[in-house]
Structure 1
Amino acid sequence: MGLDLFAIPVEKLRGVSTQKSGELHALGIYTIGDLLEYYPFRYEDYRLREFGEVKDGEKITVQAVVAAFPSLQRYGRTARLLCAVSVEGMVVTAVWFNRAFLKDQLEVGREVIVTGKWDQRRRQITVAESEFPDRGTARSGTLQPVYSVGGGITQTWLRKKIDEALTQYGAMIPELLPASVVHRHELMPRREAIVRIHRPENSREGQEARRRMVYEELFLFELKLQAYRAANRKQPDGIAHPIKGEDIRDFAAALPFELTDSQKQVINEITADMKRSYAMNRLLQGDVGSGKTIVAAIALYASVKAGYQGALMVPTEILAEQHYRSLTKLFEPYGVQVALLTGSATDRKRRDILAGLEMGLVDILIGTHALIQDDVIFRKLGLVVTDEQHRFGVGQRSVLRRKGLNPDVLSMTATPIPRTLAITVFGDMDVSTIKERPKGRLPIKTYSVKHEMMDRVVGFIRREAELGHQAFFICPLIEESEKLDVQNAIDLHTQLKLTLPELKIGLLHGRMSAAEKDQAMADFAAKLTDVLVSTTVIEVGVDVPNATLMIVMDADRFGLSQLHQLRGRVGRSEFQSYCVLIANPKSENGQERMKAMADTDDGFEIARRDLELRGPGEFFGTKQSGVPEFRLANLIEDFAMLEQARDDAAELTALPEFWTSPSYEGLREFLRREAALQGEPLD
């Protein structure tokens, strides 16, 4: 939409009073441009249909002739008007409720168009709306747009104002998309599309108009991202790590396992970015257990070998402590100094760590949000890694980034989503994806069972324990709740100790102290406990290869991605692993999730189904991740179009003439208006 239309106040339309303009403002409509881009969310179908096309209970609009005098029946305050009408030579009954005033207008032989619900058995139409053609009304035979309205704004009034705006200003609607793009995708011209999305002659025309405007919406969004990247990468203001390839190869060769081809590929992508003088902003995504942590460790090692410090920020203390133990062991032969900083550190320990960090004696600092406090000062920060990055707000990540001179940033997530969608959701990021599992891992077998099968589940635990394996038992709550009839960790812990006296049962939940949680996890990792009853504090990153059984109580109360994360805590060795979901069979949405979990262990497919069930806003956590809210586009249904739009935007911004030619002035003006050519990174 050209800037001219966005510069014309909506008050310029006749009949838009001060009160009406305030009500339009409440809907986000301030200008003529806003009004024309205020799209309907559905259409009311007033097109005439034949009875042969209509199923029982469907809505129908028919042209009829009054066949007999109507009768009026009253039941208290309710009035029912019945009238025999002839449609296609067949006499049916039309019924109006609380429309007594129509009795005198329904004259025998007069034409009437009625819209309502068809009752096949009674041969009756319950009329919602009606009109008389001899009055010159024009609703019948059309698709009428339905808008979101509120306050004193009615559908009829808004339709009228949009019609007036189209008549008065329609000729000013400019074409924004390049002719090559419009031709390539066979898109409707912009002016016609905006007219037809508000005034469709038929369903196909409305669909084509919507397709054109959805594509434009996605294209302009992707253009902003591409333009931002192009404009901000002209200045080499990052750190060019002098990484030696042989250092990375020697480190990888000394690992007790072989890296997968996917891991090698993403390591190459990350180190290539780190060598450049532009600040890296890369998302590393992969399924649970795909080996993201070792990739991050190699990136941190590369930064330290190049003379810089690294930081690893994780969402929980348990995960921070686990990373600290594993990375300390990994880096010990190379003399790399690793420190752990969490909120539970003693004052003296904290002072020692901060002093070592500022003097450059600490090479890698691991911690929770404690890393972003003001007194945490790095001597030479080169790489920031955030694990499960969607759990940190944009502000938290920005603070950590500013602790260095534009350090490289690697964000990790175990919520795998299609690559283009990841780039869209996480903004100005390159995306690396680990697609393989480490060699020797068997697929996890998943079962959904009822609560009544608890005895068999206990027997399953006993059999796995006899083989020397361990089990997780997950509960949604810590203690008993009157509001939710769900199993809780403390009661279950007590129950299992009585049921399985020969086994050692551990307990882990969020209200325990850091020391207690650490001890519970350490005992489980060291095989001192056979079963760990836990809340979802173990959801992310906890690694116990000997655990082969994951049992989730009241699994229907968990989201799909959360269940997949929990399942990923097992299956981390060569042993066959299992996931048992104990669910309420009466929970309809719960059963859909249980079926999805049993059908596949592919994290990308799980994420796709979770998006369908929950929608992108709830899936990503809109407040923190910045999921764009489109007027028409749907990130799930229009995903293929999103990919096309991204490719087209990337191709266009790579052309030198895009930045200079008068042909693209409209798009450059759009980018200037959206401030896409300057400002903070879009993460």
Structure 2
Amino acid sequence: MDLNASIQYLKFVGPKRAKAFSKIGIEKIKDLLFYFPSKHLDRSTILSTVKAVQHLRNGYEGEVTVIGRVTDKEIIRYGKKQLLKVFFSDNTGSFECVWFQGIPYFKDVFNPGNYFAISAKPTITKYGHLQFVHPDFDRISDKESNDFLNTGKIIPFYRIPKELRSINLGDLGLRRIVAQAVSDFADSVKETLPQNIIKDYDLLPLNLALKNIHFPESLENLERARYRFKFEELFYFEILVALRKQQLKIQKKTNLYKTNTELLKNFLKLLPFELTQAQLKVLHEIRLDMESDRPMNRLLQGDVGSGKTVVALISMLIAAGSGYQAALMAPTEILADQHYKKISGLLKPLGIEVALLIGGQKKKERERFLDDIKSGKAKIIIGTHAIIEDNVEFDKLGLVVIDEQHRFGVLQRSQLINKGLNPDILIMTATPIPRTLSMTLYGDLDVSVIDEMPANRKPVKTVLRGESKLKDIYNFIRQKVKEGYQAFLVYPLIEDSEKLDLKAAIAQYELIKKEHLNDLRVALIHGRMKWQEKEEVMLSFARKEFDVLISTTVIEVGIDIPDANIIVINDAFRFGLSQLHQLRGRVGRSDKQAYCILITKDEFAVKVNQFDYNFDYLSPTQIEKHKTLIRLNAMTKTNNGFELSEIDLKLRGPGDLFGTKQSGLPEFKHADIAEDVDILYSARSAAFNIVKTDMHLKEKEHAVIKEVLKETYSKHISLSQIG
């Protein structure tokens, strides 16, 4: 048999079990070798019953693991309720486990004579018994129990889906099958990394890594095996990024720009403010890119309100002044329409035509814009994904600007890019991106950062208050309205209960309008409105026809309302950190002091204000447990979006930050970008050095890379052409 043989020929498998394995994607012996344990049980974490009691008496409050044999079990009834007690013993004493829920299931799991590893936070009962309530548990065999206690063996545990459980395959059975496969076939696996990389980075060869990820000889070897698989995963991802970047470097473009400095000077005179040094630095980088003979591929990062849109507009003017068209793709219709109104108003004195393409336009207006785009009369085109529809033809598309790009899929971006001939690409995001994530998501791009806010801006004052303070907050709003302020009152919206939340927002609107702020002019905006209705409300608010705007999270998207300088976010614990920061960015757009007031339950507000989220002292379990406390506390401590993005990455992980499908971010099986920063840097360095010297991977030692890319990453290669 070889690695590609059916799993059914392995000892203890057979055709029936092979069918169940195939349902979870394990068909060949090779598939089974790469079905890795979800965790390992290590002797160093095991205590005897006596030791566990001693630990408790000495004040230890953490989790412990004890191995014991089931001696008895009983269901105890008290009133209408009942509990299950299971009794265990080891060679030093006895302990008990208690379940108050799931009793029909648990009573069948634990049978006298079976051995289990029990993990939880123990207590000592008033009778002096060691007790675990609803613990984690793993069944182990009699032999494993003896090996474990006598030799310090490390036992793997695998995820066992329902398909395997349906054929009565549990932990013991699966371990036995995997052990057989590893013993017979691990040395037959073909190496997937070049030998010089294995040597230079002190990695375990693949066969040893496989043996030690399943049945490690020591904790050190287990860590080395994990490191090897993390490194390999990140290495191949960075090879794709490096190939993409190298490919961009050798491309030539037909769009040759000669910056019309007179046009730019005239435009800058129209602006009611001066550009910051950070904006000027970024514009210099963009101009050099656009005037070069290679396509620009640049990411523009800047915090909320830092002035990215004006930088993008000047970039579009460089294209327009050289006889080319520029397209700006925005994530929502209301934002695209706002960009259009603002930009067309600014550019009218310069005689530059601007077109708008969004859903819900009148047919006559849309056809006029389509003609202007095709003829080249419209130099700047603004829209949503409507821009990428087949009937949209450009005359000479030279620059593509994508706003909040993570909201667009990889293929959507490619459709717009393909409407030009190697156009320059400028990607903008107001979501500050942690450095590691930026390297991973945008490693093929050059990065510009606007790290300075306009000179007249004051940092937004952010406070957390309990619900009992709402009356005082309404009085504060009332007072500030007399000084010319306007306020947002935001209510959370959760997709699963959109109708309920909408109802709640409308109910709050009626209550606030009639009772709490009946002397002020109050308006309502929510996601169920058509974009034209939403825009009308926002524009009325901007014209100061209302003092207070009650809203769901639709105001996240950026319209500047200089006098809206108070935002009250109700049930703040229901929002993510990035979303809270985006909402806070709706205020503080002028030289007035702005306020962000986070509302939560009284007792929770006290906890948050007392909490210290120093990650150096918090364990992963504590971080998981206190996510909400950390999030809200961080909001009150810093206005820096990049600091908050690093915290958010630690709390949520990269997949949840951007949504893997939309962002193009891979779902790593082994590596964690938030935790494995050093491995990422090493893998990136190795990958970029190889591609720099051997882009086509022709050298003999790089043949293995070519083979792995072809076999495993062919789909990623096609997507990496898009970027």
Structure 1 length normalisation: TM-score? 0.85
> Does structure 1 retain, via aligned residues, the 8 Å contact 2:41–2:154?
yes
1:36 to 2:33 alignment: yes
Q: 1:535 matched to which residue of 2?
A: 552
Determine helix, strand or coil for the equivalent of 2:381: strand
* Distance 1:362-1:125 versus aligned 2 partners, 3 A rule: closer
* Distance 1:526-1:95 versus aligned 2 partners, 3 A rule: closer
* Distance 1:586-1:241 versus aligned 2 partners, 3 A rule: farther
Distance (whole Å) between structure 2 residues aligned to residue 654 and residue 230 of structure 1:
7
1:614 to 2:688 alignment: no
* Distance 1:129-1:310 versus aligned 2 partners, 3 A rule: closer
Distance (whole Å) between structure 2 residues aligned to residue 84 and residue 374 of structure 1:
72
Aligned residues: 660
Q: 1:108 matched to which residue of 2?
A: none
Distance (whole Å) between structure 2 residues aligned to residue 21 and residue 419 of structure 1:
44
Give 1:579 deviation, angstroms. 0.3
Distance (whole Å) between structure 1 residues aligned to residue 232 and residue 341 of structure 2:
50
Give 1:339 deviation, angstroms. 2.1
Q: Pick from 478, 492, 508: which aligns with 1:476?
A: 492
> Does structure 2 retain, via aligned residues, the 8 Å contact 1:584–1:590?
no
* Distance 1:614-1:311 versus aligned 2 partners, 3 A rule: same
Distance (whole Å) between structure 1 residues aligned to residue 317 and residue 578 of structure 2:
31
- Structure 2, unaligned runs of 5 or more: 57-61, 78-82, 98-106, 605-625
Q: 1:93 matched to which residue of 2?
A: 94
Give 1:564 deviation, angstroms. 0.8
> Does structure 2 retain, via aligned residues, the 8 Å contact 1:555–1:590?
no
Q: 2:278 matched to which residue of 1?
A: 262
> Does structure 2 retain, via aligned residues, the 8 Å contact 1:43–1:145?
yes
Which AA in structure 1 matches 2:707?
E
Q: Pick from 244, 261, 265: which aligns with 2:259?
A: 244
Which AA in structure 2 matches 1:545?
P
Give 1:230 deviation, angstroms. 2.6
Q: 1:109 matched to which residue of 2?
A: none
1:20 to 2:20 alignment: no
> Does structure 2 retain, via aligned residues, the 8 Å contact 1:73–1:80?
yes
> Does structure 1 retain, via aligned residues, the 8 Å contact 2:520–2:548?
yes
Distance (whole Å) between structure 2 residues aligned to residue 551 and residue 149 of structure 1:
47
Distance (whole Å) between structure 2 residues aligned to residue 327 and residue 72 of structure 1:
77
Distance (whole Å) between structure 1 residues aligned to residue 556 and residue 89 of structure 2:
66
Distance (whole Å) between structure 2 residues aligned to residue 214 and residue 522 of structure 1:
51
Q: 1:671 matched to which residue of 2?
A: 709
Q: Pick from 157, 160, 164: which aligns with 1:149?
A: 160
- Equivalences for residues 65-464 of structure 1 within 5 A: 86-87=91-92, 92-93=93-94, 102=113, 115-116=117-118, 122=128, 138-140=147-149, 141-150=152-161, 151-152=163-164, 153-178=169-194, 181-182=197-198, 185-231=201-247, 233-236=249-252, 238-244=253-259, 246=261, 250=265, 254=269, 255-425=271-441, 428-464=444-480
> Does structure 2 retain, via aligned residues, the 8 Å contact 1:385–1:409?
yes
Which AA in structure 1 matches 2:18?
S
> Does structure 2 retain, via aligned residues, the 8 Å contact 1:652–1:658?
no
* Distance 1:184-1:467 versus aligned 2 partners, 3 A rule: farther
Give 1:21 deviation, angstroms. 2.9
Q: Return 586-595 or 480-489, whichever deviates more.
A: 480-489
* Distance 1:583-1:33 versus aligned 2 partners, 3 A rule: same
Q: Return 616-625 or 491-500, whichever deviates more.
A: 491-500
* Distance 1:100-1:269 versus aligned 2 partners, 3 A rule: closer
Determine helix, strand or coil for the equivalent of 1:659: coil
Distance (whole Å) between structure 1 residues aligned to residue 365 and residue 695 of structure 2:
58
Distance (whole Å) between structure 2 residues aligned to residue 562 and residue 547 of structure 1:
18
> Does structure 2 retain, via aligned residues, the 8 Å contact 1:547–1:570?
yes
> Does structure 2 retain, via aligned residues, the 8 Å contact 1:248–1:298?
no
Which AA in structure 1 matches 2:273?
F
Give 1:100 deviation, angstroms. 7.1
Distance (whole Å) between structure 1 residues aligned to residue 96 and residue 217 of structure 2:
29
* Distance 1:6-1:320 versus aligned 2 partners, 3 A rule: farther
Give 1:591 deviation, angstroms. 4.1
Q: Return 39-48 or 205-214, whichever deviates more.
A: 39-48
RMSD (CA atoms): 3.7
Identity of aligned residues (%): 38
* Distance 1:655-1:502 versus aligned 2 partners, 3 A rule: same
Offset from partner CA, 1:591-635 (integer Å, 9 cap, x none): 443222112211122223333333332321222223211111112
Q: Pick from 679, 682, 691: which aligns with 1:653?
A: 691
Which AA in structure 1 matches 2:708?
F
* Distance 1:573-1:22 versus aligned 2 partners, 3 A rule: same
Which AA in structure 2 matches 1:631?
K
Determine helix, strand or coil for the equivalent of 1:538: helix
Q: 2:536 matched to which residue of 1?
A: 519
Distance (whole Å) between structure 2 residues aligned to residue 73 and residue 337 of structure 1:
81
Give 1:549 deviation, angstroms. 1.0
Give 1:275 deviation, angstroms. 3.4
Distance (whole Å) between structure 2 residues aligned to residue 100 and residue 553 of structure 1:
51
Offset from partner CA, 1:119-177 (integer Å, 9 cap, x none): 656355889767666x9964543211111122234333332333223322322345444
Distance (whole Å) between structure 1 residues aligned to residue 248 and residue 71 of structure 2:
75
* Distance 1:519-1:497 versus aligned 2 partners, 3 A rule: farther
Of Structure 1 and Structure 2, the greater helix share is in: 2
> Does structure 2 retain, via aligned residues, the 8 Å contact 1:475–1:489?
no
Q: 1:582 matched to which residue of 2?
A: 599
> Does structure 1 retain, via aligned residues, the 8 Å contact 2:660–2:667?
no
Offset from partner CA, 1:563-601 (integer Å, 9 cap, x none): 111100111222211101122356775444322211221
* Distance 1:84-1:367 versus aligned 2 partners, 3 A rule: closer
Q: Pick from 671, 682, 685: which aligns with 1:633?
A: 671
Distance (whole Å) between structure 2 residues aligned to residue 412 and residue 288 of structure 1:
11
Distance (whole Å) between structure 1 residues aligned to residue 325 and residue 694 of structure 2:
38
Distance (whole Å) between structure 1 residues aligned to residue 593 and residue 184 of structure 2:
70
Offset from partner CA, 1:462-490 (integer Å, 9 cap, x none): 22222222222222359x98855985146
Which AA in structure 2 matches 1:164?
Q
Distance (whole Å) between structure 2 residues aligned to residue 367 and residue 317 of structure 1:
7
Determine helix, strand or coil for the equivalent of 2:581: helix
Distance (whole Å) between structure 2 residues aligned to residue 223 and residue 179 of structure 1:
16
